[in-house]
Amino acid sequence: MSETGRQILSAAAVLGRSFDAETVRANSGRAEDETVAALEELSRRGLVRERNLDYDFCHEKLRGLVYAETSLARRAAEQARSVFANTEAMAHLRAALALGHPDPGLLHSEVGELQTLQGDYAGALASFEIAAASAGPEPLGHLEQRLGQVHHRRGEWVLAQAHLQAALDATPDADSAARARILADLSLATHSAGEPLRVADLARETLELAEMAGDLPALAQAHNLLGLLASASGNGREALLQLRASLALAEQVDDPGAQVAALNNLALTYRDSGEREMAIALTRRALDRCTVLGDRHREAALHNNLADLLHASSAPDEAMQHLKRAVALFAEVGAAQGPQPEIWKLVRW
């Protein structure tokens, strides 16, 4: 069967035993002429039959089989993602797309999340843009935020800020938690772009919104940001207070990405105060979590940070092992786009 025919059949299976042409067209995301051609193909093959006002599966067991195949691929992907089996999850998501999952935009977004972790930033941008093209107003803010995050990882500060501002504009004022998380990302991008006065205002607004929403992940981000800013300004005591708060919140909600960020920034703060052994221990913890998470870019940065710490601690052999691993990972991240200096400069986030 053709790819379009398979997608129309899967969309119909989700709708139920009987379905009309317009509803299945809208559910599949296909054009009208594609839908008509696919329905004719399915009728010729004896899979569906045309009635007076709608269509029907020739047998309920066929509908059940198609629905189960499509749903199984998605469920397998979710299970793989839950244990950070990112390559396996990607394969299942692509299978669900090939089978004609009725919500391809959602799957493209999930593929983009995995591509981001794998360091395939060009692929991630393409996936998020495909998802955004078919998204309604509700998920658009989330997708603009993801686009901003990827541009930030590539060191494209202006593009990152533009997408994150678009994400804010697309997110209702009543959704304080979502706005707080977007503001945290915008603050970080603004900090990277070297705008200290604006960063301070954004950081305060981020914390206020996160506290108003009572959203623990947003609070973890806000405290991490404030800790990063305090450390950058030389206020180590305040940085430690904020980063410890961020780590505690990240552990409370079991957010490995936020844990890695807080641990890394804590390690760098201890390093700056001369407590090298504590910095090494915290960086090792961050690296362990990051390796499990599968975030290759940040894993590279942690290997690099640890190599510097070990070299300063007179452990050159182990330092060299981590440095080689860092170089290998940095070379893989964004490799399809050629050399990108900002990718290699990642230290804090």
Tens-digit pLDDT profile for residues 203-226: 999 999 999 999 999 999 999 999
CB atoms within 10 A of CB 19: 22
- Helix residue ranges, H only, 154-215: 157-170, 176-192, 196-213
Sheet holding 48-50, edge to edge: 18-19, 55-57, 48-50
Comparison of pLDDT for 208 and 62, the residue scoring more: 208
Average pLDDT over every residue of 99-107 = 84
Residue 321 corresponds to which tokens in the numbers above? 């092992």
DSSP state of 338: -
Q: Has residue 338 got a pLDDT over 80?
A: no
Confidence of residue 325 (pLDDT cuts 50, 70, 90): very high
DSSP state of 337: G
Confidence of residue 16 (pLDDT cuts 50, 70, 90): confident
Which amino acid would we find at residue 137?
Answer: P
The residue written with tokens 């050629």 in the block is: 338
Positive or negative, the CA dihedral 223, 225, 228, 234 is: negative
Complete domains list, the chain, with CATH: 1-101 (1.10.10.10)
Average pLDDT over every residue of 263-290 = 98
Q: What is the pLDDT of residue 60?
A: 83
CB atoms within 10 A of CB 253: 13
DSSP state of 335: G
Q: What is the pLDDT of residue 96?
A: 86
Q: What is the pLDDT of residue 132?
A: 93
Comparison of pLDDT for 348 and 136, the residue scoring more: 348
* Segment among 189-193, 256-260, 273-277, 335-339 with least mean pLDDT: 335-339
Is the Cβ–Cβ distance between 49 and 95 less than 8 Å? no
Q: Has residue 150 got a pLDDT over 70?
A: yes
Kindly give the interhelix angle for 216-232 and 256-272, rounded to the nearest 10 degrees.
20
Euclidean distance between CA atoms 32 and 38, whole angstroms: 10
Helix (H) or strand (E) holding 50: strand 48-50
Side-chain-side CA neighbours of residue 245 (13 Å): 19
Comparison of pLDDT for 74 and 43, the residue scoring more: 43
Euclidean distance between CA atoms 182 and 143, whole angstroms: 11
Q: What is the pLDDT of residue 125?
A: 97
Euclidean distance between CA atoms 90 and 119, whole angstroms: 13
Q: Has residue 292 got a pLDDT over 90?
A: yes
Q: What is the pLDDT of residue 332?
A: 92
Q: What is the pLDDT of residue 319?
A: 98
Average pLDDT over every residue of 6-24 = 82
Confidence of residue 5 (pLDDT cuts 50, 70, 90): confident
Q: What is the pLDDT of residue 29?
A: 66
Kindly give the interhelix angle for 60-82 and 104-118, rounded to the nearest 10 degrees.
20
pTM, two decimal places: 0.81
* Segment among 39-48, 90-99, 290-299 with least mean pLDDT: 90-99
Percent of the chain at pLDDT > 70 equals 98
For residue 49, list its beta bridge partners. Answer: 56
Average pLDDT over every residue of 9-15 = 80
Q: What is the pLDDT of residue 53?
A: 87
Euclidean distance between CA atoms 151 and 161, whole angstroms: 9
State pLDDT tens for residues 76-85: 998 898 888 9
Q: What is the pLDDT of residue 339?
A: 65
For all residues of the chain together, what is the average pLDDT?
Answer: 92
